[in-house]
Amino acid sequence: FLDARGCHQLQAPLATAPPMPARFTDTLRDAAGEQWNRVITHKFTTELAAGTIDRNVLKRYLIQDHRFLDAFVILLGALISNARCLEDRIPACQFLAVITGKENTYFERSFKKLGCDDVTERNSIPTAACASGFIDLMKSVAKGGNLGEILSVLVVCEWSYLSWGQKVVNTTNRDDFVTYEWVDLHSGEFFEEVVDYLRGMLDKEGVLIDDEGRERCKKFFLKAVQLEEDFFEYAYSG
């Protein structure tokens, strides 16, 4: 380049930008390794989207999934109460309204369509180990966990579902609401925003906590990933 005197000067090399630190949530997902991929590509998700899933498999899954809905609401409530400011609470409140509204209504309509709307009959079905595991994990973290630990469980539940939902939504069969509405509940702009919010919150906690705290978050994250895989496998166990 020419300097102020019009003389040619060698241009100093551009400084190399320091590498961006990995997102804490990416680090946690990477720690799950291939198990994460098994969850988000499980045959349950592809058969659900295709509309070909055996309705007994779907019924078995939905009965157990609905069984820990109360524990999930408790965990989401713990996030709301432990968040650091009002700005961080509001998106969780909005998501809670969907869980207790639109999603809960989906369960009720699906139970009727699948012939299992009798509450007494459903309650007579034993709680599967994977559902009990989720109930215990969610309630224990809600009661005794810190914000990072609460988020670690929630992020697995929602991010893994968004990940498979995004893969199948564009090819989802639209003949039967019991299959396609479950896909729609776990894809789309609103749900993407929910997952971005949860991941962002956990990324922020990953910066604020120490190494021991991050290890505890990883422990809960990996436990939740294991339960997600167990849950899909259970659906086919009958």
Mean pLDDT value of segment 59-66: 97
pLDDT band of residue 21 (cuts 50, 70, 90) is low
Mean pLDDT value of segment 13-17: 51
Q: What is the pTM of this model?
A: 0.90
User: Which residues are registered as beta bridge partners of 8?
Assistant: 2
Closest CA to 186 of 204, 168, 161, 203: 161
Dihedral angle of Cα 180, 186, 191, 195, to the nearest 10 degrees? -170
Condensed to tens digits (0 to 9), the pLDDT of residues 83-122 reads 999 999 999 999 999 999 999 999 999 999 999 999 999 9
Condensed to tens digits (0 to 9), the pLDDT of residues 133-162 reads 999 999 999 999 999 999 999 999 999 999
Neighbours of 15 (CB within 10 A): 6
Residue 238 has what pLDDT?
A: 76
- Given a contact cutoff of 8 angstroms between Cβ atoms, the answer to whether 25 and 203 are in contact is yes
